[in-house]
Amino acid sequence: MVDFAETPLDRYLRFARRSMFLLLIVALTLGSLGIGFAFRPDDPMLLSASRMIPIVIAILGAGLAGFARRSGLRVGSSESETALRDEWRQTILARAFRVAFLILVIVQVPLAFCFTSLPVLRALLAMAVSTITIAVVTFAGTYLVLDRN
């Protein structure tokens, strides 16, 4: 097994990957809650879960910030600049955007059929939430898959 010494740049890339994973989890959670509300607006379990969401996001964000502090990552450092301007990162971001856009266009009609049983306002809410969720999840998921090597 080859042992690579971890450079500050590697740590920054790991941080970026974790942030994207966090975005994926938060988008999935919020999306599920939003769609849940559209179908069952008075569900007590959903209501209590929605109260917990800001706390969970704050804990996850604090965890990520703690990781950045422990790793000695600073905004504006040469490593962060290198990572941000890295061409492979730009390429996979562009690919992830394209995939997310394509999926978003394709799922619009099937999604509309999913919400035909709902009243107009709630169907609109469900469409909006599901569209945003699918876009963010597809984008973050594609990025993570392409960035795995």
Nearest approach, Cβ of 65 to other proteins (angstroms)? 23
**Count of residues making up the chain:** 149
10 makes contact with other proteins (CB under 8 A):
yes
Q: How far is CA 106 from CA 31, 44, 103, 110, 120, in A?
A: 18, 34, 5, 8, 22
Contact between residue 115 and residue 24 where contact means Cβ atoms under 8 Å apart: no
Nearest approach, Cβ of 87 to other proteins (angstroms)? 5
Largest CA distance in the chain: 59
137 makes contact with other proteins (CB under 8 A):
no
**Binds other proteins by CB under 8 A, chosen from 88, 112, 119, 145:** 88
Contact between residue 10 and residue 80 where contact means Cβ atoms under 8 Å apart: no
Q: Distance between the two ends of the chain, CA-based, in angstroms?
A: 16
Which of positions 11-50 make contact with other proteins (CB under 8 A)? 13
**Binds other proteins by CB under 8 A, chosen from 3, 48, 87, 110:** 87
83 makes contact with other proteins (CB under 8 A):
yes
Q: How many CB atoms lie within 10 A of CB 134?
A: 19
147 makes contact with other proteins (CB under 8 A):
yes
**Binds other proteins by CB under 8 A, chosen from 89, 99, 122, 132:** 89
Which residues sit at the interface with other proteins, rule CB under 8 A? Answer: 4, 7, 9-10, 13, 82-83, 86-89, 91, 147, 149
